[in-house]
């Protein structure tokens, strides 16, 4: 995203309510990354969201979906959007917020006035030609013009779709449909593309966009990464940054202290996620920056990336984006180890 928004650590925390609250966003910002606050989540629906998070974390897995639908019926409070953003900015760290497309236009002014640095517009799949019978069609060109802050959109997995989105003036694009550990989109909708393929295709669209004279659009691989090796593969596939959720749910600082559920899990009509138990694994610093206390790749992502660059002879991430790769993931099991182990979501069969 050029000079408009730069991170010393190219890692974004996914806008998951069980992971990112104000305190977590501050902690991650101090480490050089950015954690995205979900404006459609419990933290903007309840003045004190901690008891709600605790109820979800402690619910029996047979009852958790009904509980999620119940607690997410509470309406979002506009004043809480401003309060949360101001609290993060008061700590002197970057603030990124996420909204569903249907509310992006009306919230753009609010989040800018409150001091947010980035507006993320996120749905299961977004296109530049999105249409809906239930709400006014969102124009990304109009939204970008209305914002003095970078606009990041997602999600996307397709070259031509990504190229069209980039031509609207967005600053970043999220890559991935269904790879996240708490997501069941691939099982519910049958839609998804392995992350390496998706990242490579969207990165190719970025390069073509630049060849045509456009600005560089940040490609952010979103989901499906559990360990340092996965993070490294995302960058090698062409990503400029990664967005992770479940690994951060295991941080001592996470909102739920060891649980995670997707943004579409509480959907009242067609849930596309499940709650998973990760457990508390380490501090956020240990997960992102080290030093690692284990040998399974689940800690010190930054160190893994630096070492991978060195092993591959790359001096920086742009060089690393051009290394050769051979990858063959499974479309139904990628990133789903927690669901399989706990027999929830796509791991029931």
Q: Which residues are catalytic?
A: 183, 272
What is the per-residue pLDDT for 135? 59
Query: By the 8 A CB rule, do 260 and 181 touch?
Result: yes
Q: Can you say whether residue 265 is alpha, beta or left, with left for phi > 0 and alpha for psi between -120 and 50 degrees? A: alpha
| Residue that the structure tokens 């060195």 belong to | 310
Neighbours of 153 (CB within 10 A): 30
- For residue 37, CA distances in Å to 40, 62, 110, 310 come to 9, 27, 14, 33
Q: Quote the CA–CA distance of 260 and 4 in Å, as a whole number.
A: 31
Q: Is residue 336 predicted with pLDDT exceeding 90?
A: no
Express each pLDDT in 226-275 by its tens digit: 999 999 999 999 999 999 999 999 999 999 999 999 888 888 888 888 89
Express each pLDDT in 126-171 by its tens digit: 888 756 666 567 899 999 999 999 999 999 999 999 999 999 999 9
Query: By the 8 A CB rule, do 159 and 122 touch?
Result: no
Express each pLDDT in 92-124 by its tens digit: 999 999 999 999 999 999 999 999 999 999 988
Question: What six digits make up the tokens of 160?
Answer: 């031509």
- Mean pLDDT, the chain, whole residue set: 93
- Please, which pLDDT band fits residue 341 given cuts at 50, 70 and 90? confident
Question: Stretch 19-47: mean pLDDT, rounded?
Answer: 98
Express each pLDDT in 309-331 by its tens digit: 999 999 999 999 999 987 665 66
CA torsion through residues 279, 284, 289, 290, sign: negative
Q: What is the CATH number of the domain that holds 30?
A: 3.20.20.70
Residues forming beta bridges with residue 219, ordered by sequence position: 173
> Each residue of 162-198: b (16+ CB within 10 Å) or e?
bbbbbbbbbbbbbbbbbbbbbbbbbbbeeebbbbbeb
CA torsion through residues 127, 129, 131, 135, sign: positive
What is the per-residue pLDDT for 184? 85
Query: By the 8 A CB rule, do 13 and 244 touch?
Result: yes
Q: Quote the CA–CA distance of 323 and 313 in Å, as a whole number.
A: 9
> What's the pTM value of the predicted model, to 2 decimals?
0.92
What is the per-residue pLDDT for 284? 98
Residue 173, classed as helix, strand or coil, is strand
Residues forming beta bridges with residue 98, ordered by sequence position: 38, 120
Q: How many domains does the chain have?
A: 1
Q: What is the CA radius of gyration of the chain?
A: 19
Domain that holds residue 38: 2-347
What is the per-residue pLDDT for 4? 84
Q: Is residue 333 predicted with pLDDT exceeding 90?
A: no
Q: Quote the CA–CA distance of 132 and 134 in Å, as a whole number.
A: 5
Q: Is residue 174 predicted with pLDDT exceeding 90?
A: yes
| Residue that the structure tokens 């790769």 belong to | 325
Q: Quote the CA–CA distance of 260 and 241 in Å, as a whole number.
A: 21
- Please, which pLDDT band fits residue 209 given cuts at 50, 70 and 90? very high
| 339 vs 44: which has the higher pLDDT | 44
Express each pLDDT in 68-88 by its tens digit: 999 999 999 999 999 999 999
**Which pairing describes strands 11-13 and 151-156: parallel, antiparallel, or unpaired?**
unpaired
What is the per-residue pLDDT for 76? 97
């Amino acid at each position: 995203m050029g000079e408009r928004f730069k991170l010393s650590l190219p890692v974004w925390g996914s806008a998951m309510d069980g992971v990112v609250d104000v305190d977590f966003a501050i902690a991650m910002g101090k480490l050089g990354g950015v954690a995205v606050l979900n404006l459609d989540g419990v933290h903007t629906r309840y003045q004190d969201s901690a008891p709600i998070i605790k109820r979800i974390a402690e619910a029996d897995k047979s009852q958790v979906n009904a509980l999620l639908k119940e607690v997410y019926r509470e309406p979002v409070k506009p004043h809480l959007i401003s309060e949360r953003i101001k609290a993060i900015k008061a700590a002197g760290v970057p603030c990124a917020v996420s909204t569903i497309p249907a509310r992006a236009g009306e919230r753009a002014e609010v989040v800018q006035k409150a001091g947010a640095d980035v507006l993320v517009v996120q749905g299961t799949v977004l296109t530049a030609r999105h249409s809906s019978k239930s709400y006014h069609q969102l124009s990304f060109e109009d939204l970008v013009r209305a914002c003095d802050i970078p606009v990041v959109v997602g999600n996307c997995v397709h070259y031509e779709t990504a190229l069209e989105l980039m031509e609207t003036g967005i600053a970043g694009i999220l890559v991935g449909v269904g790879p996240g550990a708490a997501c069941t989109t691939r099982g519910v909708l049958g839609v998804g593309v392995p992350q390496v393929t998706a990242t490579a295709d969207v990165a190719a669209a970025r390069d073509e966009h630049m060849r045509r004279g456009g600005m560089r659009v940040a490609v952010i691989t979103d989901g499906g990464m559990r360990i340092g090796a996965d993070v490294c593969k995302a960058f090698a596939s062409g990503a400029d940054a990664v967005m992770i959720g479940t690994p951060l749910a295991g941080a001592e600082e996470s909102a739920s202290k060891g649980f995670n559920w997707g943004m579409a899990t509480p959907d009242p009509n067609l849930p596309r996620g499940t709650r998973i138990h990760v457990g508390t694994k380490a501090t956020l610093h240990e997960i992102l920056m080290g030093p690692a206390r284990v040998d399974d790749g689940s800690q010190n992502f930054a160190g893994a990336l630096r070492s991978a660059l060195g092993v591959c002879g790359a001096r920086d991430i742009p060089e690393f984006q051009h290394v050769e790769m051979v990858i063959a993931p499974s479309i139904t099991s990628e990133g789903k180890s927690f669901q399989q182990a706990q027999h929830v979501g796509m791991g029931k069969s």
